[in-house]
Every structure is written in C-alpha cells, then in structure tokens.
Amino acid sequence: MYCGALVAACVMLAALAPVHAAQGSVLPLSEAHISQYLKRLSLTEKQKPSVTAIMRRWRQEGEAILKKHGITGQGGKKPGLFQLVGLKGELKSVVQWGRSEASKILTPVQMREFEKIYAEGAVLIRKNLHL
Amino acid sequence: MRRTICSLKFCLALLAASAVFPQAGNAEDKTYICSISDARECTSEADCKAVELEEILVAPLIIYDLEKKAIVSAAMRDHGREEKIAGIHRTPSDLIIYGHGDDEVWNTIISLKDGTMTGNINSGDATHILFGHCAPNIYPR
C-alpha cells in the first residue's frame, strides 16, 4: 500500500520534472501548467482569456520578485534561513490580487477548484525551493 | 538508515531544546539549538499579529553554531538552510547574535539563565518576531 503510493508519487514527480526543468522556474506556472489548470477549472470560452491573464501575471510578477531576491531554484541551492520571510510578504499582495480577480470571474464551484490548484502549487513551490 | 539516524538526532536535539536545564548555557558552549514556538508579524499599517512559522517559511528548529559562525535550520522537513552570523556579543546573562542577508537583517537574544530566546527578522516592509527556547546543543552537527 505504502510502496504503491510511493511509486505513484515518483511517477507523478517524474512526469512533472521536465516541465519544471524546461521552464527553469520555481513557480508551477509554465504554459503547460496553465493549460492543465484551465482544463481542471472547466472554463467557458469567455472565462478562459481572463483566467489565463491572471495566471500569466502571477508568473510574471512572481518571477520578478523571486529574481529580485536571487532565487532561481536552479543548482539545488537552498535559500537562506530568513531569506524567504520578506519574499513571502511581497508574493502575498500578488496572490491576493489574483484571488480577488478570479473570484469576480469564476463560479463558487470553479473558485473551490482554483483554491485547490493554488494549494497544490504552494506545495510544489516549497518542493522546488528545497524546503 | 542514515536518514533514520539523522531523524533520531533531530528528535533528541528537539527534546534537549524543550527540556528544562538547570543552567541554559555558559561561556564555553559553542552551539545552541533553539525551538521556535511562536511568531508575530508587525507592519506600520496594522497591529502585530500571530503568524504560523510555515507561513513565513521559517524552520521551527534552528541551530546557532557560534564556532562556525552560522545558523542553520534543523527541522525534519526544513533543514540545512543557513545564514552567516555577522557578530556575537556576550553579557553575563545573555548571548546576542546578529547578521544579515541581502534584503533582511536579523538578531537573536538567548538568555543564558533560562534559555528563553527572542529573535527579530526585519525585511523592510515588515518585521517578524520569533519566540522560543534554546539549550546548548549536545549533538553538534
């Protein structure tokens, strides 16, 4: 049972790895990721451009903040012990903006899935930062 | 096997940090292990509020290695993240340790009498205050 879960996790990570490597970012917001998220949200044709724009802006602003703090997630280098404290505050305002915009576009059911995607993304970011 | 030994070491260190020591430290101690129990976030816009350590991405267990002039995270999930110590100041009752990164400055005061610690991380927009308890690290890294 335990081994099965472990194998499944390894297969899942192996599947995700090329996407991260190709993108070279700690943020799971490559075009491939965004495309997966759009499918999961079951968006209408009208909703798609707005949600795509939110996720692309998250990526753009998030990467700018990470770059400013010298965090690339490459080379296996761990960030400093207190390096992420300030970073977290800066990312928070970008995240809040995205959530607020999404809540204006998505239905409550879609919004629940959006939060689920966000929570999974946060776990992936921690992993990419070697935490 | 190595991972199990490491985990055991962390658990023992955590127990050491949590235990009540007759004397929390003295001038000869070279490393301290601190268990962070509480954190607050303060900004100029609002009152200070309690925050989870996970939220601010600070490890709940930190080793202060005075000999190597480094502090390092030592929690099970978050270990091996370091900051360099820029300075150490000892008084008869306290140990004051400070340093900085590219975008933040931090300091810690450890009571040599009872091991209580307070720390501060100032990142410009906000300051985060950490509270915890330290003990001499009897399992040096």
Q: For the segment B21-59, what is each residue's pLDDT rounded down to a tens digit? A: 445 666 667 899 999 999 999 999 889 999 999 888 899
Which of B106, B125, B126 has its CB closest to that of A82?
B106
Residue A125 identity (one-letter amino acid): I
The minimum CA-CA distance between B127 and chain A, rounded to whole Å, is: 9
Has residue A10 got a pLDDT over 50?
A: no
pLDDT bracket for residue A19 (50, 70, 90):
very low
Residues of B in contact with A77 (CB under 8 A): none
**pLDDT for res A78:** 79
Q: DSSP secondary structure string, A51-119?
A: HHHHHHHHHHHHHHHHHHTT----TTPPPPTTHHHHHHHHHHHHHHHHHHHHHHHS-HHHHHHHHHHHH
Residues of A in contact with B103 (CB under 8 A): 69, 83, 86
The minimum CA-CA distance between A77 and chain B, rounded to whole Å, is: 9
DSSP A10: H
**pLDDT for res A93:** 86
Buried b (16+ CB within 10 A) or exposed e, A20-30: beebebbbbbb
**What pTM value is reported for the model?**
0.71
- Please count the residues of chain B: 141
User: B138 is written with which tokens?
Assistant: 């009897």
Render pLDDT for A40-95 as a digit per residue (tens, 0 to 9).
999 999 999 999 999 999 999 999 988 887 787 666 567 889 988 878 778 888 99
User: B136 is written with which tokens?
Assistant: 């001499």
Note the ipTM here: 0.77
Asked whether B37 and B131 are in contact (CB, 8 A), the reply is yes
**pLDDT for res A59:** 93
**C-alpha dihedral, B127 to B132 to B137 to B140, nearest 10°:** -40
Nearest CA in chain B to A125: B57
DSSP A28: S
Terminal CA-CA length for chain B: 17
Render pLDDT for B74-93 as a digit per residue (tens, 0 to 9).
988 888 899 999 999 999 99
Instruction: Give CA–CA dist B100/B122, Å, rounded.
Output: 9
Has residue B15 got a pLDDT over 80?
A: no
For the B2-136 domain, the top CATH level (class) is mainly beta
Do residue B104 and residue A89 have CB atoms under 8 angstroms apart?
Answer: no
**pLDDT for res A84:** 87
The maximal CA–CA distance of chain B, rounded, in angstroms, is: 50
Residue B70 CB partners (closer than 8 Å, separation 6+): B82, B83, B84, B85
Q: What percentage of chain B exceeds 90 in pLDDT?
A: 61
**pLDDT for res B27:** 61
Number of Cβ pairs closer than 8 Å across A and B?
62
**pLDDT for res A26:** 85
**pLDDT for res A74:** 64
Do residue B128 and residue A85 have CB atoms under 8 angstroms apart?
Answer: yes
Residues of A in contact with B101 (CB under 8 A): 80, 82-83
Do residue B57 and residue A131 have CB atoms under 8 angstroms apart?
Answer: yes
Q: Which of residues 58-97 of B touch A (CB under 8 A)?
A: 58-59, 62, 71-73, 77-78, 80-83
Do residue A85 and residue B82 have CB atoms under 8 angstroms apart?
Answer: no
Do residue A85 and residue B72 have CB atoms under 8 angstroms apart?
Answer: no
Which of A82, A88, A131 has its CB closest to that of B101?
A82
Asked whether B115 and B133 are in contact (CB, 8 A), the reply is yes
How do the domains of chain B map onto residue ranges?
Answer: 2-136
Mean pLDDT estimate for chain B: 84
Which of B82, B102, B121 has its CB closest to that of A85?
B121
Phi, psi of B122 (to 5 degrees): -105, 115
Mean pLDDT of B101-130: 93
Nearest CA in chain B to A90: B125
Residues of B in contact with A79 (CB under 8 A): 81
Mean pLDDT estimate for chain A: 80
Asked whether B135 and B32 are in contact (CB, 8 A), the reply is yes
Q: What percentage of chain A exceeds 90 in pLDDT?
A: 47
